[in-house]
């Protein structure tokens, strides 16, 4: 991301943003390369935000055809059925995003992200995956960590009125504003595997109940061979049984995961557009901070539940893994 200065055209187009976060931050954005997988409603909001912010390039991966569920949450999909015919979700979203900011190179990559080698991810500065299986989250995060350069990794999931963001910036240095200037700070992030392996009984009592509930849903879908979101109210008894087993294995009280919360996640596996906007906006803000190295980054989970309107940041890390 280092090297070239902003062009006159970029300076003119992004003038207001430059006044907010400076020319160096905008230059970093303009030279950054972002990969996103899974064109869900939350990702559509995120892509809109970073394209308008002026990243260098955005690559989309999603070979699925348009579905009724996708139309209900993804505003990038044209309502005209004739336009959608024969095109994948990624291709349709690509066409729409190019209209937001013609200076950003938006492209499509086809194929299964999990089957691509680590060298594929070396082309990017940020990798964002949406609504992926537990195994895929672990795999893509591990591939990003194997690279010689630091690649920021984000996993996002939105179900009904709830949302979750996981962040892995590996070893991350940034400038923190202080009254007498700026201080250089460093954070050490755990991988997704390391984070979810932290024993539940070692976590603070006030950790978001959504953290535990999302882990139960992940484990259930993995055990049943389901794709993310392939769950319904008929599965609730089995989900509650798994919750009981996990709580016993982790030596925590079952009250950490209310049955009513799991019921909401099971019944409302689809995205709720207003929540997509909040989660996608938060994700966009965090990616911009990570690229520009300005501002305190989120570490390492963010949860939002529209029923109480609260967003919570949780640091789920094993102290023994931190430097």
Q: Read off the pTM.
A: 0.94
Position 293 scores a pLDDT of: 86
Q: Residue 17 above 90 pLDDT?
A: no
Residue bearing the bigger pLDDT, 15 or 82: 15
Q: What mean pLDDT is predicted for residues 202-221?
A: 95
* Residue 130 · residue 215 · CB < 8 Å: no
Position 21 scores a pLDDT of: 85
55-93 pLDDT per residue, tens: 999 999 999 988 878 888 899 998 877 777 788 999 999
What would the DSSP string read from start to end of 299-321? -SEEEEETTTTEEEEE----GGG
Q: What mean pLDDT is predicted for residues 9-14?
A: 86
The domains found in the chain, sorted by start residue, are: 8-194+271-314 (3.40.50.720), 197-267 (no CATH)
105-161 pLDDT per residue, tens: 999 999 888 898 888 999 999 999 998 999 999 999 999 999 999 999 999 999 989
Mean pLDDT of the chain, nearest integer = 91
Q: Residue 288 above 90 pLDDT?
A: yes
> The tokens of 87 are what?
């095109």
Q: What mean pLDDT is predicted for residues 43-64?
A: 96
H or E element: which one contains 145? helix 134-145
Position 323 scores a pLDDT of: 45
212-242 pLDDT per residue, tens: 999 999 999 999 999 998 999 999 999 999 9
Cis peptide before 300 (omega within 30 of 0): yes
Please, where are the H alpha helices in 168-272?
Answer: 192-196, 209-223, 236-250, 259-267
Residue bearing the bigger pLDDT, 12 or 279: 279
Position 183 scores a pLDDT of: 84
3-state class percentages of the chain: helix first, strand second, coil last, to nearest 5: 45, 20, 35
């Amino acid at each position: 991301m280092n090297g070239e200065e902003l062009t006159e055209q970029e300076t003119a187009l992004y003038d207001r943003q430059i006044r907010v976060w400076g020319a160096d931050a905008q230059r970093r954005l303009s030279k950054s390369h972002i990969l996103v997988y899974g064109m869900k409603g939350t990702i559509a909001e995120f892509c809109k935000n970073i394209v308008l912010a002026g990243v260098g390039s955005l690559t989309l991966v999603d070979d699925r055809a348009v579905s009724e569920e996708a139309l209900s949450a993804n505003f990038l999909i044209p309502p005209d059925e004739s336009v959608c015919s024969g095109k994948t979700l990624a291709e349709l979203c690509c066409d729409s995003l190019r209209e937001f900011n013609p200076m950003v190179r938006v492209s499509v990559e086809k194929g299964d992200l999990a089957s691509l080698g680590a060298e594929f991810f070396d082309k990017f500065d940020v990798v964002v995956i949406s609504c992926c299986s537990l195994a895929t989250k672990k795999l893509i995060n591990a591939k990003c960590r194997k690279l010689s350069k630091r690649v920021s990794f984000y996993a996002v999931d939105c179900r009904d009125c709830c949302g979750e963001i996981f962040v892995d910036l590996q070893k991350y240095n940034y400038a923190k504003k202080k009254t007498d200037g700026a201080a250089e700070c460093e954070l050490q992030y755990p991988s997704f595997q390391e984070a979810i392996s932290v024993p539940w009984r070692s976590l603070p009592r006030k950790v978001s109940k959504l953290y535990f509930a999302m882990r139960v849903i992940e484990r259930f879908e993995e055990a049943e061979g389901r794709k993310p979101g392939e769950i319904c109210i008929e599965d609730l008894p089995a989900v509650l049984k798994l919750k009981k087993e996990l709580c016993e294995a982790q030596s925590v009280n079952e009250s950490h995961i209310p049955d009513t919360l799991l019921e909401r996640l099971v019944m409302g596996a689809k995205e709720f557009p207003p929540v997509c906007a909040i989660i996608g906006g938060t994700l966009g803000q965090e990616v911009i901070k990570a690229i520009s190295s300005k501002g305190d980054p989120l570490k390492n989970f963010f949860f939002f539940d529209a029923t109480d309107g609260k967003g919570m940041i949780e640091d789920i890390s094993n102290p023994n893994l931190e430097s």
